Amino acid sequence: MNDNANNGKVNIYLFGKKYSVPSELTIMTAMEYAGYSLVRGCGCRNGFCGACASIYRIEGDRELKFCLACQTQVREGMYVATLPFFPLVKKVYDIEKINTSAQIMMQLYPEIYKCIGCNACTKSCTQKLNVMQYIAYAQRGDFKKCAEESFDCVMCGVCSSRCPAGISHPQVAMLARRINGKYLTPESEHLNIRADEISGGKFDEAMAALMFASDEELKKLYNDRDIEA
């Protein structure tokens, strides 16, 4: 029986060392509770910057699991290691002069055509994205679908750390989204008008209200927002 069962604590292992921490903590806050000073890989602390990618295994379970430390609650028998940075390959290109045909992927990221379809990237994605699918779209030059499928990518790099073909999935997706945004998506007629309104202070009061909104209020506003066709 867990000795901590009656005091609301669980036993976890951070980098191989055992700690007893409150069960309601996230991995990130548990690390701080245990005495670690987090100065890197802690980013936004709310699950969007992707800087706190982590790997863990539960005692007695052979499966490796992947997560963001800022949004994953600790569990009894959790063995944790963080992956604050993975060396993704980022090619240099001029978006103003780039070739928008499928050949650009062959030129900049030829490794995507070495994909063996193992699906390790999708299985490890901290955002539960269908990573292998958006790479397939990139292979075919379907940048719009690649951009849509990868929209919620936080570029944590976990998918690439598991890829036997050495694909830098987040950078491939970023290129697709840039091409889609600049060349394929129709220009919004009211965008410049709205930008001028923001610069003129029309939304200062609304922006100030957002600064004091709770996480739940912000999530609701985001999920219920009107999306232009």
Higher pLDDT, 45 or 154: 154
Euclidean distance between CA atoms 88 and 159, whole angstroms: 10
Q: How confident is the model at residue 192 (pLDDT cuts 50, 70, 90)?
A: confident
Report the SS3 class of residue 170: helix
- Give the tokens for residue 38: 């987090």
Write the DSSP string, 141-190: T-HHHHHHHTTT-----HHHHT-TT---HHHHHHHHHHHIIIIISPPPTT
Euclidean distance between CA atoms 9 and 96, whole angstroms: 55
Average per-residue pLDDT for the chain: 92
pLDDT at 41 over 80: no
> Which residue from 43, 67, 70 is spatially nearest to 55, judged by alpha carbons?
67
Any bridge partners for residue 20, and if so which?
11
β 78-82/53-58 pair status: antiparallel
Helix (H) or strand (E) holding 10: strand 9-14
Q: How many CB atoms lie within 10 A of CB 54?
A: 24
What's the pLDDT tens digit per position in 156-181?
Answer: 999 999 999 999 999 999 999 999 99
Average pLDDT on 73-79 reads 97
What's the pLDDT tens digit per position in 213-224?
Answer: 998 999 899 899
**pLDDT score, position 77:** 97
Domains belonging to the chain, first-starting first, are 9-82 (3.10.20.740), 103-184 (no CATH), 191-223 (no CATH)
Q: Provide the whole-model pTM.
A: 0.79
